[in-house]
């Protein structure tokens, strides 16, 4: 369930509200394009600006539309332990296959606090849980020793999405955690290196627009075709870099708007792209062949 190219799904908005029609279309798009799993309500899904009702609705709608054709790993983390428990229970009731739990942000708990937070959630549900380590967003790092302790003591904590950018730390996770504990890349540019140290796949931002290509890179690695996997890595790299010219998900949502995949719509405090960066994004999309293909479609 937790391998291959899993997409950190955007949340489409229209006139400031959740665009349910567009969200359903995106789910169908990924089902048809070799995406291995859907991850709604994560960082890329702008979970921080969703109301509780919207958060629950997005997960419910993605699960309903996916209809067990593709796993759904629902983002249910919070810096409030009881809220995280509530969201995770609701995700389980909706039929999600697993939940993704970000480290508590702003509170800056100690490692003991992180351990107690995740243990409390794990004891409250039967759902498989994946930790989400991204200190650049949360201001706190989940240390490999804490991850390993949770993995051994809480049998439904089955993996970690690692977005620390630290391959040494990820290697220590693989060394300390149980052999069947899943290591997932949280950085598109590090997917191939993470696979090489025992990772199983990626929760990808760029897969929102090129799902088949990300899936192909992972597939080639799994087949032992390292040269082909490297070719995909270097082909994707300029596009990946363009996805992070500004704070995620500003660039990927702008790209999807340019490609006709969703209506424009970012929630404050996220803002429209700077004009200089927008030109760089257009150049990356054109260089990859995406905008050119889009123009051809419009001409038809």
**pLDDT of amino acid 85:** 98
Q: Kindly state whether residue 101 falls inside one of the protein's structural domains.
A: yes
Identify the active-site residue in 132, 216, 280, 288.
132
**pLDDT of amino acid 295:** 46
**pLDDT of amino acid 73:** 98
**pLDDT of amino acid 297:** 46
Burial annotation 54-79 (CB, 10 A radius, 16+ → b, else e): bbbbbbbbbbebbeeebbbbbbbbbb
Task: Point out the residues of the chain with pLDDT beneath 70.
Answer: 293-300
Q: Kindly state whether residue 85 falls inside one of the protein's structural domains.
A: yes
Q: Kindly state whether residue 154 falls inside one of the protein's structural domains.
A: yes
- Tokens found for residue 109: 């708990």
Interval 157-199: pLDDT, tens: 999 999 999 999 999 999 999 999 999 999 999 999 999 999 9
Structural domain that includes position 157: 4-225
For the beta sheet containing 37-39, the strands, ordered from the edge strand earlier in sequence to the opposite edge, are: 37-39, 4-8, 201-204, 182-185, 157-162, 129-133, 98-102, 73-75
| 25 among known catalytic residues | no
**pLDDT of amino acid 172:** 97
Identify the active-site residue in 34, 161, 216, 253.
161
**Residue 178 maps to which CATH number?**
3.20.20.70
Q: Kindly state whether residue 265 falls inside one of the protein's structural domains.
A: no
Counting the structural domains of the chain, the total is 1
Q: Kindly state whether residue 11 falls inside one of the protein's structural domains.
A: yes
Contact 185, 194 (CB under 8 A): yes
Q: Kindly state whether residue 292 falls inside one of the protein's structural domains.
A: no
**pLDDT of amino acid 263:** 85
| 115 among known catalytic residues | no
**pLDDT of amino acid 1:** 78
Q: Kindly state whether residue 81 falls inside one of the protein's structural domains.
A: yes
Whether this prediction's pTM lies above 0.75 is answered by yes
């Amino acid at each position: 369930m937790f391998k291959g190219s899993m997409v950190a799904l955007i949340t489409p908005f229209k006139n400031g509200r959740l665009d349910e029609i567009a969200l359903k279309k995106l789910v169908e798009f990924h089902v048809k394009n070799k995406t291995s799993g859907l991850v709604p309500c994560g960082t890329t899904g702008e979970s921080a600006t969703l109301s509780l009702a919207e958060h629950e609705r997005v997960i419910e709608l993605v699960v309903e539309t996916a209809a067990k054709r593709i796993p759904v790993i629902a983002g249910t983390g919070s810096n409030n332990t009881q809220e995280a428990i509530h969201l995770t229970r609701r995700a389980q009731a909706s039929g999600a296959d697993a939940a993704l739990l970000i480290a508590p942000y702003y509170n800056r708990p100690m490692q003991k606090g992180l351990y107690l937070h995740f243990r409390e959630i794990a004891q409250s549900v039967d759902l498989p849980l994946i930790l989400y380590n991204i200190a650049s967003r949360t201001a706190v790092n989940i240390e490999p020793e804490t991850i390993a302790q949770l993995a051994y003591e809480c049998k439904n904590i089955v993996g970690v999405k690692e977005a620390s950018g630290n391959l040494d730390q990820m290697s220590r996770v693989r060394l300390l955690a149980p052999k069947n504990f899943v290591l997932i890349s949280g950085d598109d540019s590090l997917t191939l290196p993470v696979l090489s140290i025992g990772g199983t796949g990626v929760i990808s931002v760029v897969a929102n627009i090129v799902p088949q290509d990300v899936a192909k890179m992972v597939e080639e690695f799994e087949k032992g075709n390292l040269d082909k996997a490297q070719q995909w890595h270097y082909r994707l790299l300029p596009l990946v870099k363009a996805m992070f010219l500004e704070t995620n998900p500003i660039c990927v949502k702008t790209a999807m708007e340019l490609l006709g995949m969703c209506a424009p719509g970012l929630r404050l405090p996220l803002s429209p792209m700077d004009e200089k960066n927008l030109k760089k994004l257009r150049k990356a999309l054109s260089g990859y062949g995406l905008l050119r293909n889009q123009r051809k479609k419009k001409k038809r």
